[in-house]
Amino acid sequence: MKFIDEAIIEVHAGKGGDGIAAFRREKYIPKGGPSGGDGGRGGSVFAVADRNVNTLVEYRFARIHRARNGEKGQGSDCYGAAGDDITLTMPVGTLIRDAETDQQIADLTQHGERVIIARGGKGGLGNLHFKSSTNRAPRQFTLGEPGQSLRLRLELKVLADVGLLGLPNAGKSTFIRAVSAARPKVADYPFTTLHPHLGVVRVDVNRSFVVADIPGLIEGASEGAGLGHQFLRHLARTRLLLHLVDIAPPESLSDPVADAAAIALELRKYDESLHRKPRWLVLNKVDLLPEETRDAQIRDFVERFRALDAAGPAEAGRVFAISALSGKGCRELVFAISDFIGAGEPAPSEILPQPEDAGRDDARADERTVEDDR
């Protein structure tokens, strides 16, 4: 199914039924009096969050949604029937705004949350409401009120604890495959991820968190380069960002520091509050660095990156060096994320690669542990 995270729809609540002027005309009741009933209320339009729905594709094609009108009143004190309501099912995390004024109407953040987005009109009054001692045969009645009609913009922001950020082919999809049961596409060409993926990371029996993998960013995304930066909206609800960096890019002319700084700058251009969100550096593919210079290259990267103004204060958090392909270092990162989410952000520190004398048994142990966590 095609992933759609934005849609424009029209909702029209039902009109209230009109009241009626009627009089009783029964045998042996010469002065029956007024008996006009009220009109029924118009149907309303509701939105409900459903965790079994994960895209707004239904509303890309079905754009107009109308509730039924209320029926008009009847004689013999009979009221008109109310119009049927309609319920629109939307993914959890959908933000509903008025497309004309940009006013927020609802934010569906919990499964089963139900809100009214267009209220039906009230029914009109029949003439039985206007009788009095001086007006015994009223002919007054009122018309039903119109229902609300709105043009709405639906915007889906996925709900996740952790968001992955980085250039295409930085290893984001490989990382989420290594620590969760999610299976996004992985290939040796850029932009293999075309829409967000969610993965649940199981730390132990009582601890887990959700990771969101979004398409990669490139320099100039704010001007439309690559896939643009519209997918950054899915990181707005996260509590922590992981900035994955390919520490050993295949192009000899590519500078990982400049590339990482460009991503941080694109984040600031999109949303300053998102740029200030807690963000950790995750240096991926460290297994491709020469063993004898690995630690020195990592320290040099961190020092140069933090010296750049584009990095911002949010980058002064923790630093992890991992290999998502082999699983090395993923276990430490997963437990650090769990501690951060469960007890708040720990004191800033650095976690650099383990000494090489630990041997390959440590890497195999990391792989087994990550497999167990899944």
CB 77 within 8 A of CB 177: no
What is the CATH T-level fold of the domain 6-156, as seen in this structure? Spo0b-associated Gtp-binding Protein; Chain: A, (2.70.210)
pLDDT at 228 over 80: no
Q: Measuring CA to CA, which residue among 294, 193, 214, 292 is closest to residue 248? A: 294
282 close to 244: Cβ distance less than 8 angstroms = yes
Q: What angle do CA 130, 84, 98 make, to 5 degrees?
A: 95
Q: What is the pLDDT of residue 216?
A: 62
The confidence band for 38, taking pLDDT boundaries of 50, 70 and 90, is very high
Digit-coded pLDDT (tens) for 71-103: 999 988 899 999 999 999 998 888 999 999 989
Per CATH, which fold does 162-373 belong to? Rossmann fold (3.40.50)
| Alpha-helical regions (H) of the chain | 57-61, 172-179, 256-270, 272-275, 294-306, 330-343, 360-373
- What does the pLDDT read at residue 55? 80
Which position has the token pair 């959908």? 94
With left for phi above 0 and alpha for psi between -120 and 50, is residue 28 left, alpha or beta?
left
**Distances, alpha carbon 57 to alpha carbons 81, 113, 178, 233, 374, in Å:** 34, 20, 29, 17, 30
pTM of the predicted model as reported, rounded to 2 decimal places:
0.67
Select, from the ranges 166-175, 207-216, 300-309, 330-339, the one with the highest average predicted confidence (pLDDT): 330-339
H or E element, residue 90 = strand 86-91
Cross-sheet strand order for the sheet of 45-50:
86-91, 45-50, 114-118
- Residue span(s) of the chain under CATH 3.40.50.300 come to 162-373
* Residue spans in the chain of domains classed CATH 2.70.210.12: 6-156
Q: Range with the lowest mean pLDDT among 51-65, 113-127, 250-264, 295-309?
A: 250-264
Band (pLDDT 50/70/90 cuts) for residue 250 is confident
CA distance linking residue 279 with residue 208, whole number of Å: 19
- The percentage of residues in the chain with a pLDDT greater than 90, rounded to a whole number, is 22
Contact 145, 223 (CB under 8 A): no
Residue 326 has pLDDT above 80, yes or no: yes
Please tell me the predicted confidence (pLDDT) of residue 348.
42
Distance of alpha carbon 23 from alpha carbon 29, whole angstroms: 11
pLDDT at 307: 78
What is the per-residue pLDDT across 354-366, written as a single tens digit (0 to 9) for each? Answer: 434 444 444 444 4
| 353 neighbors 294 (Cβ within 8 angstroms) | yes
What DSSP character marks residue 206?
T
DSSP bridge partners of 104 = 97
